[in-house]
Amino acid sequence: MLSVAQEIGETLAAMPARDKAPLIVFRSTMPPGTMEGKIIPALTALAGAPGERYEIAFNPEFLRESTAIADYYAPAKIVIGEREAGVSQKLRGLYAGIEAPIFEMPFTAAEMVKLTDNSFHALKVAFGNEVGRIALDLSVDPQHVIDAFLADTRLNISPAYFRPGGPFGGSCLPKDLRAVNALASSRGIQIPVIASALPSNAAHKSFLADRVMAQAAPGTTILLLGLSFKSDTDDLRESPLIDLAETLIGKGYDLRIFDPDLKGRTLIGANLRFVEEHLPHLSRLLVEDISDVSDPGLVVIGKPMKAVTNTLDPSLSVINMALL
């Protein structure tokens, strides 16, 4: 790619100036940061910066071998990475008459989209095969299992859960992952993809805690908006927000928690046992109103609370975990 960019740069440098600058379009899959860190500097060194003699774009392809032509005329999406918004408009001409959503974004985002797609395709194959290995060992037809799985397009094969944000928690996902891992282990079946879900979730919890602590020194008063794992419930079992609260308290932060779903601070059964084990002083940390917390140095939004967040002082430092 770098060699080609240098050849193009030499050609541009030798060309007379034109009224309309040519648009140089790169298609090959490349690591995020390549356009800005490698390609543009190579072109700039030979032909000057883009925007005068030429313009540059990144247009990753999503074509499968053996069906590339059909995929071109019926794409699921069109992705265009550009240096500045709107400078790659002429690239749309390649797709005239083709119905597909167009995503125009910075170079690095477009580069990452292609790698994200392929990573997920590989993940799907690996996941399906792990389910298949377990099913076969149980004398179950794997296709029956997967057909039923694929029938759910509301949660399973859908945008549901596919948003960067907080870790998963609650009484189902962690427990059932442990059950599947235990089942596979007891039968001598390796399922590294599924087995990695819990460690990955734990790493994300640490990542979020680190982001909070990077923006506030120990001793700072932090207001945590939300504690239960899901809005409109008081379920604290394996809530990642409990883990965050534990970490911040352990690191010396003055933590206050506001969660209107914990009505009356009445917890019973497994919910109560979990919080007593992990956050025994919860009652001291809960506040009835965010105005009860004077001058927090940092506000961490753990759950969607539009009615509350709209009232926050705009000068406050805020970390919205749902948006990373």
Angle at 58 between CA 33 and CA 123, to 5 degrees: 70
Of 4, 136, 140, 172, the active-site residue reads: 172
Residue 233: which residues within 8 A CB-CB, separation 6 or more?
261
172 has catalytic annotation = yes
Q: Say how far apart CA 289 and CA 60 lie, in whole Å.
A: 49
Strand pairing report for 298-301 and 318-320? parallel
DSSP 8-state symbol, 263: G
Residue 158, H or E segment: none
Token pair belonging to 135: 């099913």
Whether the CA torsion 184, 189, 194, 196 is positive or negative: it is positive
Q: Which amino acid is at 269?
A: G
DSSP 8-state symbol, 19: S
Half-sphere exposure of 271 (CA within 13 A, CB side): 13
Q: Which amino acid is at 317?
A: S
Contact of 215 with 299, CB cutoff 8 Å: no
Contact of 21 with 57, CB cutoff 8 Å: no
Which residues pair with residue 298 across a beta bridge? Answer: 222
Q: Which residues are catalytic?
A: 172
